[in-house]
Structures are given as structure tokens and as C-alpha cells.
A and B are shown apart, each in its own frame.
Chain A
């Protein structure tokens, strides 16, 4: 069966020879036409299009964008801010990078349509510190757009004004969490805020109502307003509408970025056909389907899911459609769209040790279960790899992980516990027998930690 064709909406021009990231090129390709039409419509109508589109956030949680916007406190009399989450730091995720570097005006148009729809007068793009070139590109693009009246004062001659500023992070993953991001934007340590009461829609940036959306999400808004929410909702599958950017990395022949209608490509088609399958002589062993925080899937396991009519269906890993709901029903998540593939050469314990080192480094340290738990998970898996492994380490790791999730201020608690919980649940035998396997580990085995 041939792989389903990509459908490129957001990445229509990414990687296209001759397509440059300046305003003239964007205009030549129909740029800012959507904004011009949007500012002639009542904002409520634009919000309605987004609601009808069924768009779900592409930053990780898959939360309804229309619903998020409808929760914004519009009666407080305080200004409403838009904060663009361009922190892109979930391991395995590399989609926003290409939008920012190669098509920044698409993002700016999405931002401006969103700002107009929500009566926002000031937007900040929070971009991770490791994208210095991206920050310069965005600043230049904003200046170009401003000079052409697509942002800044008097947008497209309507009297509506909105400024966009770029704000650079400085290397901390937790700044991707929306309330940590807001604290960082306020010039503080990015300690996530407790919800309630600090829902950004009510008490966000400077205690004002704030919308936080991912870069890709905002690009979708542009296309939704262009084609109409109803038409957009026909793309993809029910409750999983539109297209989505998938980033594939690790052990496949053709890693890279792809864009598909949500749910129209299965994990098997993606990895075997689109990405060319495993490396020569190798077989797939495990895949993390939605950024490193998502629970790992083991090739060979199956999932029995309930259908709407009460019957059941059984899916192999390869059969899982890349949507939000089925991945969720299989115990993992679509998350940020980062698909990390590991083949049968992978030392699973070392792979988890690599992930655990990330989370231990990135915990902000506010909550004891997360700060201590992530550290101990790193220490235990690190010891297993570099010193002695014990048969009971798997159980010990699980007990540490089980004491984090649900007991913390932010979802980082879950994000750091899920890898350990799922690796142990699915590859428990490898943890149990690790002391023995290590003895026969080939000398050329790749170092993971």
C-alpha cells in the first residue's frame, strides 16, 4: 500500500527552493491577504470560525483553541495579551524551527489574525534562547510587516493597532510550560504558577488575561480564517481536524519533518513508507510518538480499543493513526508531534537514562516530588549503565516515578514520570536482566548517556 500523500498547509513552502523569508516573497505567494480580509470582519465571527474548525493546540496538550479563546476574561477592563510559545524544547520536536526560520511572515499573519479576533493590542513571541538566528529573522520580519502596516499602528488602515515583540529565553525547558513562560517573560525564574487561580486566560502576563498559543497553532488560525472553519474541519478526522506537523528522528532511513491530515497516516505508514523503514539490517523496537514526555510504545504490543458502537478493535503499534484521540486511547499522546524511533540495537536502559538526565537537568525545583524524583531516576538509571545494576532497580524506579505524577504544580511532573513508568511497564525484563546483558554488550554499542 502506498503511503498516503502529505498534505502541506503550514509547510507548503518549507524547503522550497527559491522561497525566501522576506516580505516580498511572502506577498508574491498571496501573503497577508487573509489578514486584509480578516480585519474587515467582526472579531466575533473570526473566533467563531476557529471554534467551528475544531483546532486543537499543537504545543503538546491538544487543548481546543476555540475554547481557550472563549475562556479569556473580557470583562476585567485589563488589556489582553497574546503570548506566542516559540520555546520549542520538547525533545524530538523540531517543527516551529522551520516556520520561524523559513516562513516567519506566515506566523506573523497568524498572530495578527489572532490578535484582531481577540482584541489584543500587544503580543510577545517567546523564543528559546538557542534560536538566536530565528530571533533576528523574526525581528526583521516584524519590522518589514510593520513598515507595510501589517502590524503596529493602524493595521491595514483600519485604525486597529497591535505591536509584536520578540523575547528570548535562555536555555531552560520549563519556559515552554505556559505559566513558567509567563514568569520568564516577567523577568523572573520560570517557576510555573499554580492553577487555580493562575489560569493565563484570567491571571496571565502581569496578572492580565493572556492567551498562550504554540507557533504552529497560530499558523493554523491563518488557514482556518482563509478557508472557513467548516471547511477546515473537513480536513483530518472527526475531533482531530486539520493537518499536523510530524517530526521524525532517531533510527529511520529518512528522518525529517512531514505534514499530514490528522489521523490519516498510521504510525506504521509513517515509519515504514514515508520514512523509508528501519536502517539496514535493523528492526524497530520502540517509538515515542509525541515528544520525549509521551509514553513509549513497544513494537509487538497490541491495543484493544472500544468503538463507538460498543464493539472493539485491536491495533498493533503500526496500525495506530497519528491523531490525538487514538494515541491517547493507546495510553500515550500525540503531544508535540515529535516521533523518536529506536531500533533493536538500542540499549533501552541507557535510552531511559538519557531521558532521565534531561528531566533531572530541567526540573525547576519548586516541587519536592519532581525535583527529588527526577534526580533519583537519573541517578538510578545512570548507575545501572555506568556501575552496578540490580534486579530490583526496575521496581525502585517505578516506585519513584509513581510518587511524582499528580503531586506537582505543573505537568512537568507527569512529563518526567511517564518515560520511566512506560519503559518499566513495557521493557521490565530488560531492566531486570540488565546486569547480565551488560556483560555481553558489544564494544561498538553507541553511548547514550
Chain B
């Protein structure tokens, strides 16, 4: 596992946000930084965080396995998170999700065959007034009906084509 110098720098900056004797509190921030860098949390990252904060690897492991945002495995290049909860579902959230799955020929929770995306359902994204909503990586998209899902998918595909 190799972390970028920028990540190591941010890790060094965030640890003092907590009292020295409470270093364990930096577990979540460290895991976020590592996942942003590596794409997921491998075993070596768990050992690394534990050593860095002076806690046991199991203390980190139990955190990684509880919180839905932390992943033990790599995912597609882009992460498409479709809101599943009631307000979005009431106006077609399930269809939106199906549209993304169809566009990338994939199923929820899997990496698409072209490696470009992982589509997932997530719970309420706190934007229910502009339902259905979709979070693609860090960007929220509002009022995503099937047509908009298709347009967003096409953007991702076009971007992928320019890389090839």
C-alpha cells in the first residue's frame, strides 16, 4: 500500500484536531483520506491506521465493517449512488436506478463490465425536495428521471471514450 504524499500530509494535519490522548477519534477521517486515495480500504490500510493512532487493528476493522461508506473491495471508476428511500421512490427512484443499471449493463453493487461504474442504492441523501436524487462521486444530481439518468450515463461513457 502506497499513500500519496498529499494524503500523508492531510493525515498529519487531521490527527491534531483531536486531543493527543484521544487519537482514536481520528479513525474515520483517516479512513476517508485513505479511501479517497486508494479507492477502498485494504488490510494494509487497517494496520496502518491502527499503528498511526496507537490502537488495535480490530478497533479499525470494526469501524470499517460497520459504516456503509467504507469499502473493502475496489469499485468502478465512478460511483453512482441512487437514493432508495421513500420520497425518491414515490417519484420514481427505483426506475432511475434501473435506468443506470441498464445503461451500464450491470447490477446494483457490482462493477460494470466496462469497469466504468458501480451503481448502488443508498438511503435518503437529504435532498428529498428535488427527488429522485443521485450522488455521482461527490456531485449531487437532482430530479433525475430516466431521461436524465440516460444523459448522465452518456456523459460518463463519452468521458470514458476520450480516455481510450
Chain A residues proximal to chain B, CB less than 8 Å: 88-94, 96-97, 128-133, 165, 167-173, 184-190, 206, 247-251, 255-257, 292, 338, 340, 342, 346, 351, 354-355, 357-358, 361-362, 446-449
Contacts and interface: CB of A to CB of B under 8 A. Distances in A.
A188 B90 contact: no
Nearest to A288: B86
A128 B86 contact: no
A91 B140 CA distance: 17
Contacts of B131: 249-250, 255
B152 interface: no
Contacts of A171: 67-69, 122
B124 A186 contact: no
Contact of A446 (B55, B63, B89, B139): B89
Nearest to A292: B86
A88 B85 CA distance: 14
A92 B89 CA distance: 12
A172 B67 contact: yes
B28 A170 contact: yes
B114 interface: no
B129 A189 contact: no
A327 to B, nearest CB: 19
Contacts, number: 152
Interface string B25-61: 1111101100000000000000000000101000100
A447 B28 contact: no
Nearest to B81: A130
Contact of A91 (B26, B123, B135): B123
Given A257-B129, A362-B123, A446-B94, 20 more contacts: A89-B124, A90-B124, A91-B85, A92-B128, A94-B127, A130-B126, A167-B29, A168-B29, A170-B69, A171-B67, A172-B66, A172-B67, A186-B25, A189-B62, A250-B90, A251-B90, A340-B87, A346-B90, A358-B86, A358-B123
A355 B86 CA distance: 6
A187 B25 contact: yes
Interface stretch (B1-9, B16-24, B100-108, B153-161): B16-24
